[in-house]
């Protein structure tokens, strides 16, 4: 199993996603002799998982069933254990595009955090690219390294435990892109410039506060970065629902219906809007935004090394 290469069957030691529904799923490490409890009953790894194909429908001990999915960066972002606040697919998608990443790209990242963005970057630059990720916190760096090894991507990433603002990324003049998600990104702009290739490398800084953005932009200008721009991504989700609206009183609606020979008792007309005239309402499908919408996550500042 690898996050960048699809495997047909579930093996001992794999990380799999147990899918109970669109709003209910969780990761599990497959181990021989282990069981996993769900609201539908027990899943026995030895008999229910190992050797089965990914995507299989597995029946639990209480008679309910779940799907076992192959892990992807998108599914991992939704289910990973949070060690820090993470980036979600909305921001990750624009970051990978604006940094102009592709297979073979060299990327530097700080900080690693829970590895949400890291997995997406690795999948994007695979199979010939590489990610150099720096994490200040030792335990988080060690846990990230362990996860990369378990997920079969350790050959595509180098994890370093150090302060990027003082010691940089440990590489020079090779990166196609640099990403910063640290409290004081302006202190790391000089090291980011040193890590980037001679000309044309891209940089992105993620900050939740506009004051951080202002200081970062000033530092970028000081170090000669160009095409500096800041944006914010907001996601608005719609649900399709049946809406009932009252029919307006147009005066002669009943007379018009009788003049056209409309028979409300005819079964063929029962599904038409006119059939609901006596009730005074009409139903139709409409897109309705959620009552709670995800708001501000952070500002993304992009620039180019000239």
Task: Give the gyration radius of the chain's Cα atoms.
Answer: 27
Q: Are strands 41-44 and 238-246 parallel, antiparallel or unpaired?
A: unpaired
13 is known to lie in a ligand binding site: no
For residue 166, give both structure tokens: 């003082």
Sign of CA pseudo-dihedral 205, 305, 115, 89 = positive
Is residue 303 a contact partner of residue 228, using CB atoms and an 8 Å limit? Answer: yes
56 a known binding residue?
no
Is 249 annotated to bind a ligand? Reply is no
* C-alpha distance from residue 237 to each of 116, 210, 285, 291 (Å): 22, 25, 16, 10
181 belongs to an annotated ligand binding site: yes
17-21: which pairs have CB atoms within 8 A and are 24 or more residues apart?
Answer: 17/68, 17/69, 17/70, 17/71, 17/75, 17/79, 18/43, 18/66, 18/67, 18/68, 18/69, 19/66, 19/67, 19/68, 19/69, 20/66
114 is in an annotated binding site: yes
- Residues within the annotated binding site for S-adenosyl-L-methionine? 114-117, 135, 163, 181
- Residues within the annotated binding site? 114-117, 135, 163, 181
């Amino acid at each position: 199993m690898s996050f960048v290469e699809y495997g047909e069957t579930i093996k001992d030691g794999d990380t799999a996603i147990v899918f109970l529904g669109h709003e209910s799923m969780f990761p599990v490490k497959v181990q021989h002799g282990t069981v996993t409890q769900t609201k539908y009953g027990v899943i026995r790894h030895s008999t229910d998982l190992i050797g089965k194909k990914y995507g299989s429908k597995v029946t639990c001990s209480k008679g309910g069933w779940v799907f076992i999915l192959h892990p992807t960066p998108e599914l991992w972002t939704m289910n990973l254990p949070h060690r820090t606040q993470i980036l979600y697919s909305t921001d990750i998608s624009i970051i990978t595009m604006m940094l102009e990443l592709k297979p073979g790209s060299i990327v530097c990242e700080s900080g690693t955090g829970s590895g949400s963005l890291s997995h997406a970057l690795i999948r994007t630059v695979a199979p010939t690219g590489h990610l150099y990720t720096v994490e200040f916190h030792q335990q988080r760096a060690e846990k990230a390294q362990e996860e990369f090894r378990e997920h079969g991507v350790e050959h595509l990433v180098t994890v370093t435990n150090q302060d990027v603002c003082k010691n940089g990324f440990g590489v020079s003049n090779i990166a196609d892109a640099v990403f910063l998600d640290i409290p004081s990104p302006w202190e790391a702009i000089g090291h980011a410039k040193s890590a980037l290739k001679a000309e044309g490398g891209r940089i992105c800084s993620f900050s939740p506060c506009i004051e951080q953005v202002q200081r970062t932009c000033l530092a970028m200008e000081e170090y000669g970065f160009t095409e500096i721009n800041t944006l914010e991504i907001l996601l608005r989700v719609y649900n399709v629902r049946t809406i009932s609206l009252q029919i307006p009183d147009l005066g002669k609606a009943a007379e018009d219906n009788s003049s056209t020979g409309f028979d409300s008792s005819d079964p063929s007309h029962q599904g038409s809007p006119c059939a609901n005239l006596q009730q005074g309402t009409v139903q139709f499908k409409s897109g309705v935004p959620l009552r709670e919408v995800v708001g501000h996550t952070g500002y993304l500042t992009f620039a180019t090394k000239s």
